[in-house]
Structures are given as C-alpha cells and as structure tokens.
Chain A
Amino acid sequence: MKTEQKRAEMIKEISGVNPLKCMKCGKCSASCPSYNEMDIKPHQFVSYVINEDIESLVKSKSLWKCLSCFACIERCPRDVKPGKLIDAARQIVVRERGQNYLLADEIPELVDPDTPQQLLVSALRRYRR
C-alpha cells in the first residue's frame, strides 16, 4: 500500500468515519465558525480523504484552525462528521513524529499565537486519560 493510501486508511480508522457517505450538502461548511480562516474548507476535508491527498491536509492551515466546536459533527445529516476527520489528521501528524501524545512542555512552542485557546482546551479535554 502506498503511503498516502495508508494515511487515508489510518484517518478512516481513527475517526471511524466512512467519507463515502457524504452527499456534498455543505452543511459542515455552513456551520463552521472558522470557515474564513481555513484554506481547505470543512466539506473539502471529506474529498481530500477520499482522494487520498493527506499530505495537503496535514500541511493545511485548516488543521490548526479547526476549533473542535463540533458544530459540523452535530449537524452532519450523513454521519460523515468532517470534524472527526480533521481531528484524525491532527493525530496523524503527532503519530508520525513517533509519539501518540504531546508532552505538556512541548505545547507552548507548537502553538501558533493565533490558535484559539478553545482548541487547546478542547484537545486536552478529549485526550486526557
């Protein structure tokens, strides 16, 4: 399996999402509060995973602009939930650094000054064990 294919499979596995269920209604992009900050829009996350272009996804600004507000997850009529895909893409970045988690000390230097605090709070809330 090619790397990109593997990464796409990994995203599907982590997120538990089947991107083929998407009917391209755009309700995710219509709901997203960070829409204008994003280069790849929420509804496009889905096609990037389908087309196995994970490199563009992990390099996108969107990855770190998503607030994890879950509006797209809440409202998606097709159970595709782009927020989960972007979340999985973030995990790919972390895993490819050989880690499954970040150390608390590493966070400040990774944080873009523009990153909303809500993102960090949300991430910590989700990944605390």
Chain B
Amino acid sequence: MQRIGVFVCHCGSNIAATVDVKKVAEMALHEPGVVHAEDYQYMCSEAGQEKIKEAIQQKHLTGLVVCSCSPRMHETTFRNAAERAGLNPYMVEIANIREHCSWIHKDIEEATEKAVILMRAAVAKVNLDAPLQPGESRVTKRALVIGGGIAGIQTALDIAEAGYPVDIVEKTPSIGGRMSQLDKTFPTLDCSSCILTPKMGEVNAHPLINIYTYSEVESVSGFVGDFTVEIRKKARSVDMNKCTGCGLCQEKCPSKKTPSEFNRGLSTRSAIYTPFAQAVPNVPVIDRDACIKFKTGKCGLCSKVCQAGAIDYDQIDEIVTEKYGAIVVATGFDMIKLDKYDEYAYSQSKDVITSLELERIMNAAGPTGGHLERLSDGKAPKELVFIQCVGSRCADDRGKSYCSKVCCMYTAKHAMLIRDKYPDTNVTVFYIDVRTPGKNFDEFYRRAVEDYGVNYIKGQVGKVIPQPNGKLLVQGADLIDNKQILKEADMVVLAAAIEPNPDVRKIATMLTASIDTNNFLTEAHAKLRPVESPTAGIFLSGVCQGPKDIPETVSQAGAAAVKAIGLLAKDKLLTNPCTAHSDELLCNGCSQCANVCPYGAITYEDKEVNDHGIRETRRIAVVNDALCQGCGACTVTCPSGAMDLQGFSNRQILAEVDAICR
C-alpha cells in the first residue's frame, strides 16, 4: 500500500479564487492511500517545496500528488523536490487544477467539485505508480544549423567559439541570407554588407565551422543528443577545391537572361553565377535549367575559359550523412506574394515595388548602382508614396494576421535616406499605426518626420491607378483631416508582410518540431523557453520563430547557441523512462505498432517464448528504449493489449477513469 501525500496549491489567487483549496485537501484525506494533505499559497516556491520535503520525511510518504498548474510548468520542479527528499521522482503526479479547472470555470462550487475529481484521479494513478529509473544516452558533440542567414551565422559562430564543431546547411549558393540584400540598417544606418560580410568571412575561416551551401536537409532521424541527418549537396557543376573564384566563367557565359534571385528579379544573371560579389563561398554554381550546355549539349564556354579546370558538367548530387547532438533551425523569411492585392497595381506597373526591391535599388551594388530611379523609364522620382501594412494585420485570407514588426522602421529608414540624398523628392507614408518599440527607434522615426520632412498620413491607401502619362494615381484616406486624398506619384513602395520561408514546413516535419498556423515554429514556452522547440534538442533562431529585426535576431541566435552549447557540454543525457514495452506472451507480431510509431523505435525479433508450458518461437515487437519517446501511439493501437507504457500503464489510465467516474 502506498503512503500518499496530497499538496494543493493556491497559485496566489489563480486557483484559490475559483477553487476551494481547503476542501480539496480535506477531501483528499478520504482517498485510499492518502496519509497527508495540505494546502499552501505557492507550492512551487522554496517554502512550498520545503513543506513537501518535510512531509515526505516525517510521514514516510511513498507517493505524491500535487494539485497545481499544468505539468508542463512545474512537474520537473516537484519531481526534483521529491528526489531531494529521497523519493523516486516518478512517484509524483500532477493534478492540473489551474489550466484545466480554475482558469476555465467561474462557479466556485462546480470548479471545486472538478478539482476534487482531478485530485482523485491522480491519487488513483499514484497508487499504481512504480519507481522508474531513467537510462542514459550519449551526446554527439556537433551541432547542425539549418539556414545561413544572419541568424544561422551568429548561432554557428557562437557555438564554434565555445569549442564545438558546427555544420551550416544553406539552400542557396551563398550564405548571407536576407541581410546581404539590404542596403542600410536601422536605427544607426550602418551599411548592411559592411557589418555582415566580415561575419561571413569569419564563418568561412573558422576551423570548427563547415558550410554546406547549395545543399538541403534530406532526412532527420534519431533524438536529442544523437540525431542522424542526411544532407543533399546539390550538384554545383563546379569543383569547390579547384575553383579560384576569378569570375571569368560568369563574364563569358552567353546565357545571361535569368532573373537574378538576389536582385529580386530586377536584373538578370548568367547561367553560371555567384549570387553576389561577396558570396561565401566565392564559387559559382551552374543553373542547369538556364545553361545552354545542359539544355542543348553545345557551348561549354565556361569550361574552356576556366584556367583551373574547375567546371565539372558530370557532377551529381551527393548525400552526406552526419551525426549531431543539437539542431538549430534558422530558416528565415521571405516577403509574401502580392498577387492577391490587385488594388495596388503591383503586377500592372513596374514603378510599384516592394520594400525589398527598393533595398536593392538603393544598394550601390544593386541593379541601378544605388541610384533611385523608376524601373519603367529610368527617371528620378519626384513624388514617392509608401504604403504600410500590405498583407500584415489582416483578418481575411489575403494576408497575415500578425504585424510584420520590421516595416515601420525600414520605411522610416527608406524615407529618411531618400530625403537626405534627393532633397527635392517628396516622400509620403500612408500608415495605420507607427510601431517603434526598441532602443532609439521612436527617435529615429521622429527624425524622419521632424528633420527630414517626411509626410506621414494616418490612413490606408485604397487604390493605385496607373495613369496614361506614366504616373501613379494614389487614392488614400487621411483620417486626421477626414478627407480623401488623390495624389499623383512617380513611384509607390509597398511594405509587404513577411512570412516564414515556405521550406520550413518540410523541415519542421522532418524534425517533428511543431509549427503554428502561420508556419512560424512554436517555442517550448512563449516566455520562459523562447528559443527551444518543444522537441528536445531542436532550437530556434531568427524569423523562423516570429517576426524580428536584426538586433533581435542576433540576440536570439546567441540564446539558441547557448542552449545548444548547454546540451553539447553534457557527456550523457538521462532518457525518459516512460517508454513502451511489449508483453511477449500477448504480442502476436501483427506489426501495427511499428506502423504507427513516429520514431521508428519498434522492430521485430523471432524469440523463443514459454507460453504456459508450450515452447515456441514467435515474432515479437521489441522497443528501442533510446528511440521511444513515450507518446503511447503503439499502446492504443495494439489489438491484443501487449503494448504498455511505463508510468502510463493501461491499468493506471483505467484506474484514473474509474476514479473520475466514481
């Protein structure tokens, strides 16, 4: 018989205002096995934990029920407290009377009744609990960073600086990401390339960092501390070791009409190309869809001009298999497509552009050499209109429900830079709200208004109408003056919403990392574990977790690195002992459990069994403890009831149901 202690937490007024905690404690004393029950204001506090330890020692408790918040919040806290008092931590059960009870009910009587029932179910489970011992698994001291933008670069540098080897997998031919496309950065206006390229060089030169560019993650298996990842190195058609990066092949390549991804399609590139001059590695790739040699078999000019003999048309994709202890996702973002926003005439006029396109136009290395001009006729615009929140903060299916966070600041930056460089160009910004939380951010926006004379109008634009004279008629609202505005503009810039890189869905599925309805990766806890995925060993860095600017991304990248380092620094990890096991006498080898197991933890063995005196060889399911995550899918699938989960046995769950129905 167990000797159970029940501890009821008030959680300040979170629980106590809706649940009669004293009554729950009192009722607990009538439950089988309960020898001690008390309530306290904050059970998770030092004093609360002390009460638990005292009771364990004085009353010789063998099991605990803590009626408190969700086990996701404090199960570990109470298990550790129990362990310190000499009790097996798996003899602790949490009855969630906060999220599942007090927070969702108003009536005290009903809520108290439910809290008592939840307590009763937990007591029934503890009565059948047995001490469990966690196993150990090894940690591969190597990290993988998926994505080579500023988030991935910073994370990789920080992990490598702590002495652990890191691999970066980047889909495009160069690392650098979105930040390499930007001109200046707010609020200090440093040149983006000037602060990014040294970091790219540092990553490239770091002895502990290995970069796979033009590569993608193909598959992921394993678990925290011991992931096995297959990386597809796409055929570059250029030998990385031989190429000197002289650039002659790109110069001579006759196929030059492919839209440049790096310049957002505002210029063209050759079929053999590096995305930009400062690319890392400075080794081109052949775009086989554009290459004349690959399309017709004739040409081969690049191979002829290459002094190093680096061109290799026969290269094929290569799969590299590597083991990692931790994986950091840093897949970044893109801008949304604007095909659903016909009213802004983006597809009708070359002079309606997105902010990222403007970044390229303003950039000295961009398609216009940094000169602000209309893409239709090359003329300098005299009247410029910015439209904010295009596709952000939308409740309809055309846009995104969230605020993209960076647009207010980059628009203030664009407006200010343009007014500074071209003082005779008028700049008007149509805004809904100007959101500038951040150090020196609001001051920056105010400078645009007060010192640079940018005209901010509170109100959205309804329509942009291309005119026969080449101008753009902007019809907007001024909600302060309560009038409708018709304004002829030479250029219109749309602050399009940002969205997670669409590839992240595929990657999240491979990692079994959860993702929200907007394709942002979910954190383990919104406030307290913001850089960890709920899947152990997976960390989040940058915009893949939510919209953020460069300073925030760099901070988060560092935080993700620290979490990864904390994991890699361990030699062994304790594994969860709540794993599944099959009863060899009941198992009929039907394979259903192996089919549903998401972790590939179940295999089959031919095993000799002694079934009531009959000796025979049977095909029996065997669970690999190291791989099993204790999800329980096999236990509910098993038709013969042979699969059982330690710590959540079928008997225990039925006992809980019985207790609830009593």
Residues of A within 8 A of B (CB): 21, 23-32, 35-36, 41, 43, 71, 75-80
Residue B461 lies at the interface, judged by CB distance under 8 Å to chain A: yes
Contacts of B461 in A (CB 8 A): 27, 30
- Taking a contact as CB atoms under 8 Å apart, the answer to whether B479 and A24 are in contact is yes
- Taking a contact as CB atoms under 8 Å apart, the answer to whether B395 and A27 are in contact is no
Question: Could you list some 13 contacts between A and B, CB below 8 A?
Answer: A25-B432, A26-B459, A26-B476, A26-B479, A27-B460, A28-B477, A29-B479, A30-B462, A30-B477, A43-B477, A75-B343, A78-B394, A80-B395
- What 6 A-B pairs are tightest by C-beta distance, nearest first? A31-B462, A30-B462, A26-B477, A30-B477, A27-B460, A26-B459
- Taking a contact as CB atoms under 8 Å apart, the answer to whether A24 and B432 are in contact is yes
- Taking a contact as CB atoms under 8 Å apart, the answer to whether A29 and B395 are in contact is no
- Taking a contact as CB atoms under 8 Å apart, the answer to whether B395 and A77 are in contact is yes
In the complex formed, the residue of B with least CB distance to A35 is B484
Contacts of A31 in B (CB 8 A): 343, 462-463, 475
- Taking a contact as CB atoms under 8 Å apart, the answer to whether B395 and A21 are in contact is yes
B477 interface neighbour in A23, A27, A79, Cβ under 8 Å: A27
- Taking a contact as CB atoms under 8 Å apart, the answer to whether A30 and B463 are in contact is yes
- Taking a contact as CB atoms under 8 Å apart, the answer to whether A78 and B479 are in contact is no
- Count residues on chain B whose CB falls below 8 Å from chain A CBs: 23
Residue B396 lies at the interface, judged by CB distance under 8 Å to chain A: yes
Smallest CB–CB gap between A33 and chain B, Å? 9
Q: How far is the CA of A28 from the CA of B479 in the complex (A)?
A: 11
- Beyond A26-B479, A29-B484, A77-B398, 12 additional contacts (C-beta under 8 Å) are A23-B393, A25-B460, A27-B477, A28-B477, A30-B475, A30-B476, A32-B462, A71-B462, A77-B389, A77-B393, A77-B394, A77-B399
Q: How far is the CA of A25 from the CA of B459 in the complex (A)?
A: 5
- Tell me which of B398, B460, B461, B482 has the highest count of chain A C-beta atoms within 10 A of its own C-beta: B460
A27 interface neighbour in B458, B462, B478, B485, Cβ under 8 Å: B462
Binary flags per residue of B450-472, CB closer than 8 Å to A gives 1, else 0: 00000000111111000000000
- Taking a contact as CB atoms under 8 Å apart, the answer to whether B395 and A79 are in contact is yes
Contacts of A80 in B (CB 8 A): 395
Smallest CB–CB gap between A58 and chain B, Å? 21
In the complex formed, the residue of B with least CB distance to A18 is B395
In the complex formed, the residue of A with least CB distance to B484 is A35
Q: How far is the CA of A25 from the CA of B482 in the complex (A)?
A: 12
Q: How far is the CA of A23 from the CA of B479 in the complex (A)?
A: 12
Q: How far is the CA of A21 from the CA of B479 in the complex (A)?
A: 18
In the complex formed, the residue of A with least CB distance to B461 is A30
- Tell me which of B399, B458, B477, B479 has the highest count of chain A C-beta atoms within 10 A of its own C-beta: B477
Contacts of B399 in A (CB 8 A): 77
Contacts of B398 in A (CB 8 A): 77
Q: How far is the CA of A43 from the CA of B394 in the complex (A)?
A: 16
A25 interface neighbour in B389, B396, B475, B485, Cβ under 8 Å: B389
In the complex formed, the residue of A with least CB distance to B392 is A77
Q: How far is the CA of A25 from the CA of B476 in the complex (A)?
A: 10
Contacts of A32 in B (CB 8 A): 462, 484
Q: How far is the CA of A20 from the CA of B393 in the complex (A)?
A: 14
Q: How far is the CA of A25 from the CA of B495 in the complex (A)?
A: 15
Contacts of B463 in A (CB 8 A): 30-31, 71
In the complex formed, the residue of A with least CB distance to B478 is A26
- Taking a contact as CB atoms under 8 Å apart, the answer to whether A26 and B394 are in contact is no
Binary flags per residue of B307-325, CB closer than 8 Å to A gives 1, else 0: 0000000000000000000
Q: How far is the CA of A26 from the CA of B478 in the complex (A)?
A: 8
Q: How far is the CA of A104 from the CA of B475 in the complex (A)?
A: 37
Q: How far is the CA of A35 from the CA of B476 in the complex (A)?
A: 11
Q: How far is the CA of A36 from the CA of B478 in the complex (A)?
A: 13
In the complex formed, the residue of A with least CB distance to B463 is A31
Contacts of B478 in A (CB 8 A): 26
Contacts of B459 in A (CB 8 A): 25-26, 29-30
Q: How far is the CA of A23 from the CA of B482 in the complex (A)?
A: 16
Contacts of B460 in A (CB 8 A): 25-27, 30, 77
Smallest CB–CB gap between A29 and chain B, Å? 4
Q: How far is the CA of A35 from the CA of B475 in the complex (A)?
A: 11
Contacts of A23 in B (CB 8 A): 393, 432
Contacts of A36 in B (CB 8 A): 484
Q: How far is the CA of A31 from the CA of B458 in the complex (A)?
A: 15
Q: How far is the CA of A68 from the CA of B52 in the complex (A)?
A: 69
Contacts of A76 in B (CB 8 A): 396
B458 interface neighbour in A26, A28, A77, A78, Cβ under 8 Å: A26
Contacts of A79 in B (CB 8 A): 395-396
Q: How far is the CA of A26 from the CA of B458 in the complex (A)?
A: 8
- Tell me which of A25, A29, A32, A76 has the highest count of chain B C-beta atoms within 10 A of its own C-beta: A25
Contacts of B458 in A (CB 8 A): 26
- Taking a contact as CB atoms under 8 Å apart, the answer to whether A30 and B484 are in contact is yes
Smallest CB–CB gap between B565 and chain A, Å? 42
- Taking a contact as CB atoms under 8 Å apart, the answer to whether B477 and A29 are in contact is yes
Q: How far is the CA of A76 from the CA of B343 in the complex (A)?
A: 12
In the complex formed, the residue of A with least CB distance to B432 is A25
Decide yes or no: A41 and B389 within 8 Å by CB, A25-B432, A30-B476 being known contacts: no
Smallest CB–CB gap between B536 and chain A, Å? 39
Q: How far is the CA of A75 from the CA of B464 in the complex (A)?
A: 13
Which residues between 420 and 434 of chain B lie within 8 Å of chain A, taking CB atoms? 432
Smallest CB–CB gap between A25 and chain B, Å? 4
In the complex formed, the residue of A with least CB distance to B388 is A25
Smallest CB–CB gap between A19 and chain B, Å? 12
Q: How far is the CA of A41 from the CA of B432 in the complex (A)?
A: 17
In the complex formed, the residue of B with least CB distance to A80 is B395
Binary flags per residue of B393-409, CB closer than 8 Å to A gives 1, else 0: 11110110000000000
In the complex formed, the residue of B with least CB distance to A71 is B462
Smallest CB–CB gap between A41 and chain B, Å? 6
Smallest CB–CB gap between B459 and chain A, Å? 4
Which residues between 351 and 395 of chain B lie within 8 Å of chain A, taking CB atoms? 389, 393-395
Smallest CB–CB gap between B595 and chain A, Å? 43
Q: How far is the CA of A78 from the CA of B392 in the complex (A)?
A: 10
